[in-house]
Structure 1
């Protein structure tokens, strides 16, 4: 006799590009989960996303969804400054949580989330730093850990978008974009970031008025490894994320060849993904499937709220460095609580 486990009943909060993508992903790609609610105050947007998830209700806010249907888990895909307002009631209900980056947009809010989660029996929050599930990043982390080419000396990272909307602010370069590198650098290097500096070259005239970019964000790790992150979000040609790792006896690169390379008529060209969906689609699929599987087991399988807190501290320091032009040291409020010592979870070296 075989038994089946009921699907995880998931509410997706936020029906913008990322939230709608998650609704479609769970419906078409992920096993063991069903979208039962799509939450967004924009009715048309909620309806459009829910149309890809047969049977899902729509709601204007999370409380309305909780009152309308049974929910086991929530994916939070709202702007970062709205995350805490969903995280706290979700924790209060003991739901499984996948929270898109950042955990929150400031250190104080992240500490409040950590405090609330540690009142439970175990971690419930997984943070959506999906690059840890990308094969290139995992291979690079393994290469660093192997020591095969000596110590990791430096990282050259590029994070490029074709365009940004007029509402995109200078702080968002750090809080919404470089936040990925702020998590990926400790993951690759296996040690925390201890200082941040921001340099501002000549402004791109194609950027929205008032936005000064590109910028270079310099992240320094505990042993002195330096990551130089080019954040360049109006580069016009597409979406490109690359990393070059400089070792004592070699250089490794990821992210450059994700599509067709064509050489013809004395010219060579490589296809560039138009959006994040093409560049990291497989990583998102793996992340969500592993989160669903872990939720069925009563755990998480990826970056925890503690990792989200660490990133928020560095991002806060990054915004200060951006405003002042100074090198800012990162001051973590406390050591890692044993509550977050999770065997088998994808995490940077301790």
Structure 2
């Protein structure tokens, strides 16, 4: 894309796989924005990501980038426990913010972010729950809302990765992976999650030492719809995310591979995406473009910090359930503030606790 003086000047904080992908996306695919700074304490990683964005500078931390570069907006792609440290100064500057999931890794931090944002004139934070922008998820949500097949009774969700690094912890199964389903289930069902339970089957010996993988997370909604989430992150064959919705009079499925099907030498099969970038690439493109367009209008167009807070509360309950083996009820600290009353937004969901 050819940069213009009217482009949104974006800093990308975090130059790992997700951050580098966003830098390349904005440079090659997104209109109305350009990357002006890449922030990462790893100089080599920041330099490599910035090389895909002509004119972008690098910085070791966000404060350095703010002090040396004109910035209108920020994409936060650091690990979740580091999000609050970037969100707070970004809010103080009134920047447009796209924060990758999770908003924060605990309820208390999310509440602090909500409090800080509500000091502004309007919401500035959009949370990167990109599955809401995937066509399959949108179609499934519309089918539930239509009532054509009766009530939604249950969801079977699978979230599978080929491998994880040795540093991947058991809590990360909930906080970094199942957090997507924690947002997607209310999005599809149109109602909040009220309880969480975690079951642990036989351990996969191929998982890193100390990681109990796979696990099954049971999410219960207000009406009694039960979502069973298989989180299975060392399954070796690739990246796979699927959802089967069970209705009173039918079953709908999304996420099954629809590419080339090959039958040869007595076997039949389809290709499996190697990573999230291939599976949800179109959803990421749509999400970022809508965020940029909304920032130019002075608004957001996607999940808000309130949605991020709701997910953080459920994830906190999920970690407790993971440790205790008990069913844990979800206790939301507040009703939805009028500040976040964005129900006219295309992707808004009824999320009152």
Map Cα deviations across residues 79-134 of structure 1 (whole Å, 9 max, x no partner).
00000000000000000000000000000000000000000000000000000000
Q: Distance in 2 between matches of 1:48 and 1:348?
A: 42
Map Cα deviations across residues 2-21 of structure 1 (whole Å, 9 max, x no partner).
99870000000000000000
Distance 1:53 1:276, change over 3 A: same
CA contact (8 A) 2:273 2:279 kept: yes
Which secondary structure state, in structure 2, belongs to the residue aligned with residue 66 of structure 1? helix
- Tell me whether 3-12 or 262-271 shows the greater mean CA deviation: 3-12
CA contact (8 A) 1:302 1:347 kept: no
**Cα distance, 1:263 vs structure 2:** 2.3
CA contact (8 A) 1:38 1:50 kept: yes
Q: Distance in 2 between matches of 1:260 and 1:336?
A: 45
**Cα distance, 1:262 vs structure 2:** 1.6
CA contact (8 A) 2:155 2:228 kept: yes
CA contact (8 A) 2:204 2:213 kept: yes
**Cα distance, 1:261 vs structure 2:** 1.6
CA contact (8 A) 1:303 1:347 kept: no
Distance 1:88 1:135, change over 3 A: same
**Cα distance, 1:266 vs structure 2:** 3.7
Match of 1:56 in 2: 56
Distance 1:225 1:146, change over 3 A: same
Q: Distance in 1 between matches of 2:87 and 2:231?
A: 29
Q: Distance in 2 between matches of 1:43 and 1:264?
A: 47
Match of 2:273 in 1: 273
CA contact (8 A) 1:258 1:272 kept: no
**Cα distance, 1:268 vs structure 2:** 1.5
Distance 1:254 1:339, change over 3 A: same
**Cα distance, 1:289 vs structure 2:** 0.1
Distance 1:250 1:94, change over 3 A: same
**Cα distance, 1:264 vs structure 2:** 3.0
Query: How large is the Cα RMSD of the aligned pairs?
Result: 2.0
**Cα distance, 1:24 vs structure 2:** 0.2
Distance 1:155 1:306, change over 3 A: same
CA contact (8 A) 2:98 2:127 kept: yes
Which secondary structure state, in structure 1, belongs to the residue aligned with residue 280 of structure 2? helix
Distance 1:152 1:270, change over 3 A: same
CA contact (8 A) 1:215 1:232 kept: yes
CA contact (8 A) 2:47 2:58 kept: yes
Which secondary structure state, in structure 2, belongs to the residue aligned with residue 98 of structure 1? strand
Q: Distance in 2 between matches of 1:188 and 1:209?
A: 35
CA contact (8 A) 1:59 1:65 kept: yes
CA contact (8 A) 2:3 2:33 kept: no
CA contact (8 A) 2:3 2:34 kept: no
Alignment TM-score, normalising by the size of structure 2: 0.96
**Cα distance, 1:349 vs structure 2:** 6.5
CA contact (8 A) 2:98 2:126 kept: yes
Distance 1:319 1:226, change over 3 A: same
Map Cα deviations across residues 28-49 of structure 1 (whole Å, 9 max, x no partner).
0000000000000000000000
Question: Which sections of structure 1, spanning at least 5 residues, go unmatched?
Answer: none
CA contact (8 A) 1:259 1:273 kept: no
Match of 1:256 in 2: 256
**Cα distance, 1:259 vs structure 2:** 2.3
Map Cα deviations across residues 306-330 of structure 1 (whole Å, 9 max, x no partner).
0000000000000000000000000
The aligned length equals 347
Distance 1:338 1:63, change over 3 A: same
CA contact (8 A) 1:13 1:78 kept: yes
Which secondary structure state, in structure 1, belongs to the residue aligned with residue 317 of structure 2? helix
CA contact (8 A) 2:198 2:216 kept: yes
Map Cα deviations across residues 236-280 of structure 1 (whole Å, 9 max, x no partner).
000000000000000000001242222234422011000000000
Match of 2:345 in 1: none
**Cα distance, 1:50 vs structure 2:** 0.2
Match of 1:96 in 2: 96
**Cα distance, 1:348 vs structure 2:** 5.0
